[in-house]
Structure 1
Amino acid sequence: MDELLGGHLRMLREAAATGRPPGRAELDDCRAAGALAAERGASVRALVEAALAMAESVDPTPLPALRRTVSALMEGYENAQRSALRQEEAARREFVDDLLQGRADRLAERAEHFGLRLAETYVVAVARPAGAAATVEGPGAAGDGGLAGEAEGTARRIEDALVARFGSHNVLVAVRDGMLVCVAPGSLTVANGEFTHHVRQTFAPGWRVGLGRAHRGPGGVVTSYREGANAIELGDRLGLRAPVLKAADLLVFPVLLRDRAAIEDLVTSVLSPLLEARGGPEPLLATLEAVFASQGNQTAAARRLGVSTRAVTYRLERIRRLTGFSPDDSTQRFTLETAVLGARLLDWPAHPLR
């Protein structure tokens, strides 16, 4: 520390001898010394104590000059700390962008710096605030209505809480595409629950969490991230109520969408007669969804819909007459349920099919 503060001691002696306060160039030297102390890992307390100890050897101690030099030392120290934090955040954002897009330039080496061992399997949880759209966009995208503004602070607070419980080599929390992303080992399933707990406490009602499946390696992180985001999007399109959606529970829907022509034909063939219903097809579609969600229990379905059981019975009979399909028949029930799911995925009838 003595070699860093040699200029500080010289300034104090000159001020004691001449009564002249330190000038701009001299204070700049103090700021440079404070910055160098920060870069070398010295604590600010050790820096100030060393500066005060040197001042004790100057008689008389020029207190105004001491105040200015110590202030300049601390300013240089703090500026260096802020610069280091900005560089770390920039490196972190770049790493997250590269990781979630699968760009492999020194990825494993950089991952170790942020506490990830990419040879393991990882699960990615994606949290979306209320009112934001779940999309997988380009690098650095924030997404209107997402986590803009205090996003990084929110991510850091949640990450600090998770690191305190699980250790720094187990989790990574970041902001991506206007959503909060948590990367955790597949073996540490409790981390996803803890992440969801903090999301529930942080976000307003209407938030959603999508959980990807466990995959190995950097490419697996990308896959799990996309699965989590897509789970939220599917939940929106299907009108699912659950705030936490697991990609593993929704595997049938991507399968349906892979053959769009087939699902369009199914929706058109089975459900298009509902367009003739008085009041439109939406009440009848909602009734089918409620009945399927209630495992065929019409009383429970009526409670979900806020109507009488008689109204549900009437609507089901109307559906049978119009379509020729009844949810009471096991084979026809499967066809109807698949058609209704396809209609929600395709946003039918709001968007007519060809």
Structure 2
Amino acid sequence: MRSVLDRGLALYRQGEDLPAEELAKCTALAVQLAERGERIAPLLHAWDVGCSVAVAACWVSARPGEQSELVSLTQWSSVGVKEITAAISLAYVHAQKQAGLDTSRRVLADLMLNGSATDELAAAAHHSPAKEYVAVAGRVVGENVPSAATVARASAALTTGDLGLSCQAGRHLCILAPIRSHRSTEELSGHMVETLKRVGITFAAPAGAVIAPRSELAMAVQQASRIESLAGIAGLDGKTVESSQVISELAISRDGEYRRQLISLIDPIVEAPELLKTLRTLYLMDLDRSRTARRLNVARRTLTYRLERIEQLTGINPVRTRGILAFVLALAARDLDLSSSVPEGV
């Protein structure tokens, strides 16, 4: 595909168009991938990178006075690449239909994440595009990585009513649900989770959910994956979780120094697991001492002694407002530090 682009650039400089037989080389490759059931998204990503590198090389090697030509060349490559990508994608979808693989909706989800999907492709996949989507990312019970069969089942379940598109992103099953009504994110994503559950697909923990315009779905899926991981660490319940529900964990995860300072608050009790457990259980029980004592299977007198011991060792009262805030964040910071499942960045 890189050689086809180089050929196209050379022909453009000569005032000629890319011949159909050159484009056919790319579409033939797409057909081969479709017939083998392989994903096309990595190929299109490599193609996009190759295009950028080729155009950049032209600028680097430009001679004085060629800048104006290079501007038009860059514009041509941008338009030309989109046309080539659309042709490749259509050939891929058509080949899959011919092979009876019925994966056009999964293909469309992959293409939407790399920004190369067209309305024509959406129509071929029986999907009506929306301006905004809810990107939902969750880990499937019993699967380290969602299998092709799981993604296919999810896609089939969501086809009725055009509820959304499914794909795999890392260890997550991702759903792109078009927003077409005034339903809240929680209602829409919750409906999808229930729909998947009916076909035997259950998320291991609350899924992450992010609203994003169609052009920013790749970033939205990354953020939804991150929210899902943070929700698991925070021990949140529910079908889906939005960023507002893990705002503290998001802030802590992005600032390593802040995280270390918070963890230092509970360093004096790290070697006393019964004190750490007492602190966690107290906040889990919303400061209800009777419930906390029952959960820990200790007498209230023992619980009181432990809370006093925590204050003695840390200098922070665990049942005063400032102490509660400090310890809740410190425990979250420690969990984040111990966890290796939170994606970097975003």
TM-score range, shorter chain: 0.5 to 0.7
Structure 1 156/99 Cα, relative in aligned 2: closer, same or farther at 3 Å?
Answer: closer
Structure 1 residue 216 corresponds to structure 2 residue 213: yes
Deviation at 1:342, TM superposition (A): 0.9
| Aligned counterpart, 2:310 | 319
Equivalent residues of 2:190, 2:240 under 8 A apart: no
> What is the aligned counterpart of 2:108 among 95, 116, 137?
95
| Aligned counterpart, 2:11 | none
Structure 1 residue 128 corresponds to structure 2 residue 139: yes
Q: Give runs of aligned pairs for residues 1-354 of structure 1, distance below 5 A.
A: 83-86=98-101, 88-89=102-103, 91-100=104-113, 103-114=114-125, 115-118=127-130, 120-132=131-143, 145-148=144-147, 150-160=149-159, 163=160, 167-168=161-162, 170-186=163-179, 187=181, 188-189=183-184, 190-203=187-200, 207-219=204-216, 221-240=217-236, 242=238, 244-268=240-264, 270-275=265-270, 280-347=271-338
Deviations 1:217-237 (A, max 9, x none): 221x22332232112211333
Output the CA distance in 1 between the equivalents of 2:215 and 2:150: 24
Equivalent residues of 2:111, 2:117 under 8 A apart: no
Structure 1 249/240 Cα, relative in aligned 2: closer, same or farther at 3 Å?
Answer: closer
Output the CA distance in 2 between the equivalents of 1:244 and 1:306: 32
Output the CA distance in 1 between the equivalents of 2:176 and 2:190: 13
Deviation at 1:116, TM superposition (A): 4.0
TM-score by length of 1: 0.58
Deviation at 1:273, TM superposition (A): 0.8
Deviations 1:187-217 (A, max 9, x none): 4443322222134445587722413222222
Deviation at 1:324, TM superposition (A): 1.0
Structure 1 182/271 Cα, relative in aligned 2: closer, same or farther at 3 Å?
Answer: same
Matched to 1:172, the amino acid is L
Output the CA distance in 2 between the equivalents of 1:85 and 1:107: 22
Structure 1 202/324 Cα, relative in aligned 2: closer, same or farther at 3 Å?
Answer: farther
Structure 1 213/179 Cα, relative in aligned 2: closer, same or farther at 3 Å?
Answer: closer
- Indicate the larger mover: 170-179 or 121-130: 170-179
Output the CA distance in 2 between the equivalents of 1:174 and 1:238: 26
TM-score by length of 2: 0.60
Structure 1 123/282 Cα, relative in aligned 2: closer, same or farther at 3 Å?
Answer: farther
Output the CA distance in 1 between the equivalents of 2:202 and 2:116: 39
Deviation at 1:260, TM superposition (A): 0.8
Structure 2: runs of 5 or more not aligned: 1-94, 340-346
Output the CA distance in 2 between the equivalents of 1:301 and 1:130: 30
Output the CA distance in 2 between the equivalents of 1:272 and 1:281: 10
Structure 1 215/341 Cα, relative in aligned 2: closer, same or farther at 3 Å?
Answer: same
Equivalent residues of 1:116, 1:171 under 8 A apart: no
Deviation at 1:122, TM superposition (A): 1.2
Deviation at 1:239, TM superposition (A): 4.1
Matched to 2:243, the amino acid is A
Equivalent residues of 2:233, 2:336 under 8 A apart: yes
Deviation at 1:177, TM superposition (A): 3.0
Equivalent residues of 1:126, 1:229 under 8 A apart: yes
Deviations 1:155-200 (A, max 9, x none): 134224xx2xxx23x5223344343322223444433222221344
Matched to 2:164, the amino acid is V
Output the CA distance in 1 between the equivalents of 2:310 and 2:207: 34
Output the CA distance in 2 between the equivalents of 1:195 and 1:154: 13
Deviation at 1:108, TM superposition (A): 4.8
Output the CA distance in 2 between the equivalents of 1:206 and 1:156: 15
Deviation at 1:251, TM superposition (A): 2.0
Equivalent residues of 1:296, 1:327 under 8 A apart: no
How many residues align structurally? 240
Matched to 2:241, the amino acid is L
User: What's the RMSD between the two structures over aligned residues?
Assistant: 3.0
Deviation at 1:249, TM superposition (A): 0.8
Matched to 1:98, the amino acid is L
Deviation at 1:93, TM superposition (A): 4.0
Bigger Rg over Cα: 1
Structure 1 209/218 Cα, relative in aligned 2: closer, same or farther at 3 Å?
Answer: farther
Equivalent residues of 2:122, 2:129 under 8 A apart: yes
Output the CA distance in 2 between the equivalents of 1:214 and 1:273: 41
Output the CA distance in 2 between the equivalents of 1:305 and 1:202: 38
